[in-house]
Amino acid sequence: MKLTLKIWRQKNASDKGGFATYPVDGISTDMSFLEMLDVLNEELTEKGEDPVHFDHDCREGICGMCSLYINGNPHGPLQTTTCQLHMRSFSDGETITIEPWRAKAFPVVKDLVVNRSAFDRIIQAGGYVSVNTGGVPDANEIPIPKTIADEAFDAATCIGCGACVAACKNASAMLFTSAKISQLALLPQGKVERKTRAEKMIAQMDSEGFGACTNTGACAAECPKGISLTNIARMNREYFSAVVSSDNM
């Protein structure tokens, strides 16, 4: 395959940045999208040009590090992570535009690499059960209905890649935040702190500069793990019932 790549290049956070166009040739349909970029980078390096920087690590769709906005969609045309996207999803001669995630809360570090620490800070605000190591009850002490455990699991599969933010027209982090709030609100272990958790995580999410939710559903439709919009509804319930009944003034 022969392709034309239009890639966002930006030297560092303060650089203005712009698109550069690169032709690539000899791309096999069996290659993953990132392997195609590896090929480009090897060529660039050999020519003495700075390779394109992008985030990636596990390359098996679970670490959530890869984050490319390809032809107008986060992670490209399929509902998967960029690393699991293969070149057979593209056609010979195609021009592919690659951009970084765009959000105020995800500033560009270099080229296609963005800083997603805002997600970590949202979790730090309350995305946990406050138990220390040791001194916990036996794992089977509290039975949890299978359907509830499964629902919690579905929410917990979020990989924190940020595709939801990238897809949302408001760069909203509701799907990410709600996935964690949902998981812990469903489980008896997480119910103890549910009110404070909802209040704190949402306050943090807002202070990071993410937008609000218009319920367009783009986040869930683009989420490589299929996190559902029901989580956002549950988060809203958690939040509204928390603010009217919690002790936090």
Partner 1 sequence: MILDSKIPAGPLEEKWTKHKFNSKLVNPANKRKYDVIVVGTGLAGASAAASLAELGYNVKAFCFQDSPRRAHSIAAQGGINAAKNYQNDGDSIFRLFYDTIKGGDYRSREANVYRLAQVSVNIIDQCVAQGVPFAREYGGLLANRSFGGAQVSRTFYARGQTGQQLLLGAYSALSRQVANGKVKLFPRTEMMDLVMVDGHARGIVTRNLITGAVETHAAHAVLLCTGGYGNVFFLSTNAMGSNVTAAWRAHKKGALFANPCFTQIHPTCIPVSGDHQSKLTLMSESLRNDGRVWVPKTVETAEKLRKKQIKPADIKEDDRDYFLERKYPSFGNLVPRDVASRNAKYVCDEGRGVNETGEAVFLDFRDAIARDSEDTIRARYGNLFDMYQQITGENPYKTPMMIYPAVHYTMGGLWVDYNLMTNIPGLYALGEANFSDHGANRLGASALMQGLADGYFVVPYTIGDYLAQTPPKKVDESHPAFAEAVDKVKGGINQLLNIKGSKTVDHFHKRLGKIMWNECGMARTAEGLKEAKKAIKALKKEFWSDVKVLGENEELNQSLEKANRVADFIELGELMIDDALNRNESCGGHFREEYQTPEGEALRDDENYAYVAAWKFMGEDQEEELVKEPLEFENVKLTQRSYK
Partner 2 sequence: MSWVTKTLSSTLGRKLIMALTGLFLILFLTGHVSGNLLLFKGDGGEAFNIYAKFMTTNPAVKLLSYVTYISVIGHVIYSIILTQVNKSSRPVGYATSNASKSSSAASRNMGILGTIILIFLVIHMQSFWYQMHWGEVPFVTYEGEQYKDLFSIVTFAFQNELMVAGYVVAMAFLSFHLSHGFASAFQTLGLNHKKYTPAIEVLGRIYSILVPILFASMPIYIYFTSQS
DSSP state of 98: E
Contact predicate 201/190, CB 8 Å = no
The stretch among 43-51, 53-61, 102-110, 187-195 that binds partner 2 (CB under 8 A) is 102-110
Q: Which of residues 13-72 bind partner 1 (CB under 8 A)?
A: 28-32, 34-36, 38-39, 42, 45-46, 48-51, 53, 55-65
**Which string of x and - marks every residue 67-106 that binds partner 1 (by CB under 8 A)?**
-------------x---x-x-x------------------
Q: Return the number of the residue (99 or 111) whose C-beta is nearest partner 1.
A: 111
Residue 216 Cβ, how far from partner 1 at the closest point, in Å?
A: 26
- List CB contacts of 166: < 8 A, sequence separation 6 or more: 67, 69, 74, 101, 102, 103, 106, 222
Residue 215 Cβ, how far from partner 1 at the closest point, in Å?
A: 26
Positions of E strands within 43-107: 68-70, 73-74, 95-100
Does 153 interact with partner 1 (rule: CB under 8 A)? yes
Q: Which of residues 40-79 bind partner 2 (CB under 8 A)?
A: 69, 71-73, 77
DSSP state of 142: S
Q: Which of residues 203-242 bind partner 2 (CB under 8 A)?
A: 203, 205-206, 209-218, 221-222, 229-230, 232-240
Contact predicate 52/37, CB 8 Å = yes
Q: Cα torsion at 99, 104, 109, 112 (round to 10°)?
A: -10
